[in-house]
Structure 1
Amino acid sequence: MDKKISIAVVIVAVAFSVYTLSLPSDPIPLPEPNFNSKNDSVEILAKNLDKPRSIAISDNRIFVTEKDGSIIVVENNVQLESPLATLRSADVFDGGLLGIALHPNFTENHYIYVFLTYEEDEALWNKILRITESENKLQDAETIFDKIPGSSFTNGGFIKFGPDNKLYIGTGATSDSSHLPQDPDSLSGKILRINDDGSIPEDNPFSNSPVYSLGHRNPQGMTWDSNGNLYVAEFGPEKNDEINIILAGKNYGWPEQECLGNENFENALLCYDPSIEPGGILFYTGDKFDFEFPFIMASMRASNVYQVDFEEGLSSQKSILSGIGRVRDVVQGPDGYLYVITSNTDGKGFPDAADDKLLRILK
């Protein structure tokens, strides 16, 4: 059955200022989605998703991870009844089956990479699995990178292949009091860079180490601009969410610094106080939208998809989609359209009977 349903897009211009009053505690009341409109700006491609976390797109297929372990497939705009795989994941608030990325040569080798939280001997860990699929079914799965320290609340978990064909991994701090993000020998609170087989690239900034940058709290989104510069979005502790431009070998301060102010660490490009909980980010390169600014960001707590101009800062921030609740991830498809997943079943939102959803923004 074709599961496309039109819903409305609400265009709202908003701006956030640094060092303003705190937001009320979660969950935040959200606007009621308008599912009865005949507006054709957005299509629902999948619904009743259970705590979806990340999106990856090939030519005619969309893969969505669910926190509890399933990889959902939407093929030719139709949600398949059976998941590609159901993996055993740890049952913790902000861990489980999180990030997903397709190999740059996916059409030939059918490799899918996922970030998975698991429990072993009463301890939480994260690992990277490389899955081989065939006709939307799991054929093989192997662990290529393991023993990333786990947490009930801050695992990071966003993964993506860069323009250099290396796999980049955002890992979270194990707790707000932990200094592991400052320890170059720990995998906690880092951006990691590995080869597609899990080995360590020879040109990494630290010899024989997967660590690419350190001092991170909870990375949630990752993208590159046209010049090959890496950007990462990450949660702060209730405030001071950050957008950072990531330089090899640099330290971004957590827990010694939030956003900026210490000459020993890199300053954030953007700092959000109060928190907006940034999710997926991208630089739009397609021809379907005439955006004023190419940097696009999903937001959970602020319940929007935004476009932002770095030169103008937070005052330039404009909404391109709202009214659907919390938004976890946003990606650009090969067709030039934007695809998003909502995050209303994650324990912080107000889900409706069809949540959560995979949506395609058409205009």
Structure 2
Amino acid sequence: MMNQARLVSLAAAVAVFSFLIAACDKNEAEKAGVATEAPTATSTAAVTTGVEPSPSIVPSDNPESNEPYTVLAENLNIPWVIEFDGDTVYISEREGAIVKLEGGVMERQSVQLNKSVRHRGEGGFLGLLLSPDFHTSKLAYAYHTYEEQGSLMNRIVLIKQEGEKWTEVRALLEGIPGASNHDGGRMAIGPDGMLYVTTGDAQQPQLAQDRSSLAGKILRLTLDGKVPADNPFANSYVYSYGHRNPQGLAWDDKGVLFNTEHGPSGDPGGHDEVNRIEAGGNYGWPTVYGDDNRKGMIAPLYHTGEEAIAPSGAMMDESNRLLIATLRGEALYRYDTVAGKMEKVFTGEGRLRDVKIHDGRIYVITNNTDGRGIPSNTDDRLLIINNVK
């Protein structure tokens, strides 16, 4: 138990952070009539560090709480990804910082990149993925938006933690088409040891069907940024194509890849998807969506009809059920990949951006400070969801 001095110290430590208006999915923007890009942009992060209000980490041997969730961290600023190194948590923030949560202390760390982060709409500092040897190498992969010659683009870079900051080691892949919406940004290492990365169609739907473009794709790279020899298309990073704005990546226990994806905006809207991904597969956007069929194009395993939930991060549980954090849906959903059944398992805390399972516990981050939600004075937060059956 903390002594009185420690409690006083934590209670006195307060950091105030600004909230920028940003977009999380065009589905929601067009239906709600909300602007789809922020009026200003931020460059490479230069964010102060310090102790945040009342962060804590629940020891893994604690019994499950009777409360619906446990709060681990507060006052996150447009968080995007949850990553773990043992019990240390790292969270990327879209304006260009990485939050480290360790031993009850939350520290916002700056990220120094060779090309500045362009935080505009859905773009910014998005994907973060710790290297498999991060504990010793301190290396991680990052995906971020930048601007070059007046155009928004995205890049995949290798970064290294050096004390209280991160610095770029080198770029692995640049020139991925970007826009104020539909930037993708999810990264995961597959069972085959390869790096998988989602990219959006950059608001140019035709690029999703163009295999020479990196937009609207799931890419597959070696961990040092090369094209794997067994990729489905020779000398190409493209693993699958015909995607609008893929967001989640997860594998079942047989090594089958699934993704979550935003469907079309406007009328009709909705049709958000869960897909089983095949090497070289064409998932139809913008030619088909929903129940449409076309020879040579793969229909989704599941879609939401005209309801939009804006699926984001995804994680497979031990029973091959896909946990899906949703933005517009404001819930944690669970999709049974065998039975084809979708259900809500947690609601009431607003927009959810990412979900991870760590030591048998389900972690989510809220995304109420992204300009679309209704943030409380403690948002955004990292939560452990209790008693999900």
Q: TM-score range by the shorter chain?
A: 0.7 to 0.9
Q: What is the CA–CA distance in structure 1 between the aligned matches of 2:177 and 2:167, rounded to whole Å?
A: 28
CA contact (8 A) 1:181 1:255 kept: yes
Q: 3-state DSSP class of the match of 2:205?
A: coil
1:283 alignment counterpart: 316
CA contact (8 A) 2:76 2:381 kept: yes
Q: What is the CA–CA distance in structure 1 between the aligned matches of 2:350 and 2:321, rounded to whole Å?
A: 23
CA contact (8 A) 1:216 1:252 kept: yes
* 1:338 maps onto 2:367 in alignment: no
1:361 alignment counterpart: 385
Q: 3-state DSSP class of the match of 1:108?
A: helix
Q: 3-state DSSP class of the match of 1:131?
A: strand
* 1:63 maps onto 2:95 in alignment: no
* 1:118 maps onto 2:146 in alignment: yes
* 1:327 maps onto 2:352 in alignment: yes
CA shift for structure 1 position 86: 5.7
1:182 alignment counterpart: 209
Q: What is the CA–CA distance in structure 2 between the aligned matches of 1:342 and 1:153, rounded to whole Å?
A: 20
CA contact (8 A) 2:184 2:198 kept: yes
CA contact (8 A) 2:96 2:110 kept: no
* 1:168 maps onto 2:196 in alignment: yes
Correspondence for 1:158 among 164, 177, 186: 186
Q: What is the CA–CA distance in structure 2 between the aligned matches of 1:24 and 1:203, rounded to whole Å?
A: 40
* 1:243 maps onto 2:243 in alignment: no
Deviations 1:161-216 (A, max 9, x none): 111111101000021x5311111111010000001111111111111111001100
Amino acid at match of 1:130: L
* 1:95 maps onto 2:123 in alignment: yes
2:374 alignment counterpart: 350
Correspondence for 1:264 among 293, 296, 311: 296
CA shift for structure 1 position 23: 12
Q: What is the CA–CA distance in structure 2 between the aligned matches of 1:245 and 1:343, rounded to whole Å?
A: 26
Q: What is the CA–CA distance in structure 2 between the aligned matches of 1:263 and 1:89, rounded to whole Å?
A: 40
Using the aligned pairs only, state the percent identity.
37
Amino acid at match of 1:181: A
* 1:78 maps onto 2:101 in alignment: no
Amino acid at match of 1:303: E
| Distance 1:220-1:40 versus aligned 2 partners, 3 A rule | same
CA contact (8 A) 1:45 1:78 kept: no
Aligned-residue CA RMSD in angstroms?
2.4
Identify, as 1 or 2, the structure richer in helix.
2
TM-score (normalizing by structure 2): 0.78
Amino acid at match of 2:315: L
| Distance 1:190-1:49 versus aligned 2 partners, 3 A rule | same
Correspondence for 1:253 among 284, 288, 310: 284
Q: What is the CA–CA distance in structure 2 between the aligned matches of 1:353 and 1:199, rounded to whole Å?
A: 44
Deviations 1:30-79 (A, max 9, x none): xxxxxxxx954422222111111111111021111111101111113432
Q: What is the CA–CA distance in structure 2 between the aligned matches of 1:187 and 1:344, rounded to whole Å?
A: 30
Amino acid at match of 1:255: P
Q: What is the CA–CA distance in structure 2 between the aligned matches of 1:294 and 1:188, rounded to whole Å?
A: 28
Amino acid at match of 2:295: E
| Distance 1:205-1:24 versus aligned 2 partners, 3 A rule | closer
- State the aligned residue count: 326
Amino acid at match of 2:95: D
Q: 3-state DSSP class of the match of 1:185?
A: coil
